[in-house]
Every structure is written in structure tokens, then in C-alpha cells.
């Protein structure tokens, strides 16, 4: 396989929402802890999230003060700052907005500490942002000129960083893009026994407006495990032709 084995690992409400007020409840906090435990069980060398998820949980909206004056043009070629890290955090950030200040997840995060950061960018990113990433030692790869081709992205992750197993952890539009490109091999779904009910909350798989070749994807049940507090851990696999 010229790409990693990809597991989409997510937590949802009964009505399939990956975000919402239900996550603020004490009961949901129990399942968030279970989610992190299962994350570790899979033993993936890398995990991937979209910009919104990374900003919410890891950079907390921090904005960089980048000076654009006298920035030399930087070639749009991949930059590998650390090819021998024990684990990697892959940030899908097409235009380069995440306000990283270090090249690994902060040590305060007991679940995801010391994972070397790899930014996934388009060629539309600014030279100032690339210079910042190089300055603090963050790796980056390009997945397209204006839009990301995730088939190309995951091939690069395997070839440049020897990532054989990747955990995809949302959000919904990132998951939907991987689904659309038939890149999901397994789905690990923690079902929280709470209904969100909101009509505008993001669901497990969302579709971007520019995707025109959408089609249903079949999943096949591999295993079901009952969790405390009435939750379920559902494991599905897909079959590729």
C-alpha cells in the first residue's frame, strides 16, 4: 500500500453530531476520556485533525504576528524538519492560519504531548507563514495548488515520515473529504447516549460544496463493545476494490 492504513476515530451524539452543547455535559466528559484511551489503544504513529479542531483544542485561537516585509520567496516544496519522531500530529491547514509557537504539541496536554507537528498546506500559503514554520522547526507538506488532494497528502505522509497507520479525527468536513476519496479503511465510533437535536451542528461526515463526485460508501460491522454509562464503541471496516 502506497499510503497509510487510515482509521477514522470519532465521538458522536446519538444523532451523529461531532460538536454541540452535549459535549459540555458531565456524562459526555466520561466518553471523551474513553475516546482518548481508545486513541492510545490503536497505537497509530500519527493522527490528523482539521484547522478548526486544531485551533479549538491546541492553538486556542492564537494568531501570529507575521511581518511580510522583506520575506524572500520560499519554494513550494515539502519541508521535513523531523523524519524520526516517535509520533506526529498532522494539521490540515490549507492557507496557513494556525498559530503554532512550538514544533510539537505542548507538554501540558497529557494525551497528545511531544507529537511532532506536520502542517498540510496548499501553495496559496504565504512566504511569511512558511518562514515561521521553518524557524520553529515544524514540518510541512503541500497537497495541491489551491485545493488539497488527500490521496497525494497521505502518500507523502508515508513516503516522507514512514507513517504506516494514520488516525483521522475530524472535523466533519475533513472526514467527508477522506470518505469522498475512498481513503478510510476503518471507522472507530464512540456513540454517546445523548441526542443533540441542533439542526446546524456538524455531523460525522460532511460534504464540501465543491465536491461533485459524491457517492455512498458501505461500511461493514467488525465489532461492538458496550461502554459504561450506556455508550457503545462501534468498529467498522470498508472494502476497497
Domains of the chain: residue spans and CATH: 1-45+171-240 (3.40.430.10), 46-163 (no CATH)
Show Cβ contacts of residue 41 under 8 Å, excluding neighbours closer than 6 positions.
Answer: none
What pLDDT sits at residue 212? 60
pLDDT in tens, 74-112: 999 999 999 999 999 999 999 999 999 999 987 666 667
What is the strand order of the sheet 186-191 is part of? 139-142, 116-121, 88-92, 46-50, 165-168, 5-12, 186-191, 232-237, 220-226
What pLDDT sits at residue 114? 82
Mean pLDDT across the chain: 92
What pLDDT sits at residue 110? 67
What pLDDT sits at residue 72? 87
Residues of the chain with pLDDT under 50: none
What pLDDT sits at residue 137? 97
Tell me the three state secondary structure of residue 183: coil
Quote the Cα angle for 102-107-111, to 5°.
120
**pTM of the predicted structure, to 2 decimals:** 0.93
Please state, in angstroms and as integers, the Cα–Cα distance from residue 162 to each residue in 9, 105, 156, following that order: 21, 20, 9
What pLDDT sits at residue 240? 72
What pLDDT sits at residue 239? 84
Amino acid at each position: 500500500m502506497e499510503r497509510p492504513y487510515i482509521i477514522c476515530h470519532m465521538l458522536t451524539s446519538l444523532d451523529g453530531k461531532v460538536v454541540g452543547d452535549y459535549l459540555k455535559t458531565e456524562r459526555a466528559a466520561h466518553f471523551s476520556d474513553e475516546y482518548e484511551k481508545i486513541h492510545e489503544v490503536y497505537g497509530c504513529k500519527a493522527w490528523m485533525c482539521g484547522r478548526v479542531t486544531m485551533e479549538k483544542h491546541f492553538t486556542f485561537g492564537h494568531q501570529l504576528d507575521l511581518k511580510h516585509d522583506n520575506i524572500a520567496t520560499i519554494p513550494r516544496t515539502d519541508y521535513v524538519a523531523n523524519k524520526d519522531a516517535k509520533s506526529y500530529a498532522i494539521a490540515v491547514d490549507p492557507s496557513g492560519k494556525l498559530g503554532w509557537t512550538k514544533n510539537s504539541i505542548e507538554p501540558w496536554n497529557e494525551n497528545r504531548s511531544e507529537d511532532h507537528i506536520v502542517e498540510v498546506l496548499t501553495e496559496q500559503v504565504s512566504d511569511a507563514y512558511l518562514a515561521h514554520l521553518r524557524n520553529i522547526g515544524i514540518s510541512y507538506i503541500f497537497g495541491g495548488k489551491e485545493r488539497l488532494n488527500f490521496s497525494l497528502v497521505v502518500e507523502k505522509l508515508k513516503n516522507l515520515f514512514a507513517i504506516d497507520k494514520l488516525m483521522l479525527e475530524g472535523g466533519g468536513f475533513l472526514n467527508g473529504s477522506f470518505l469522498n476519496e475512498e481513503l478510510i479503511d476503518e471507522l472507530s465510533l464512540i456513540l454517546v447516549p445523548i441526542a443533540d437535536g441542533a439542526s446546524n451542528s456538524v455531523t460525522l461526515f460532511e460534504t464540501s460544496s465543491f465536491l461533485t463526485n459524491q457517492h455512498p460508501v458501505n461500511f461493514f460491522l467488525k465489532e461492538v463493545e458496550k461502554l459504561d454509562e450506556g455508550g457503545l464503541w462501534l468498529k467498522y471496516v470498508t472494502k476497497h476494490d
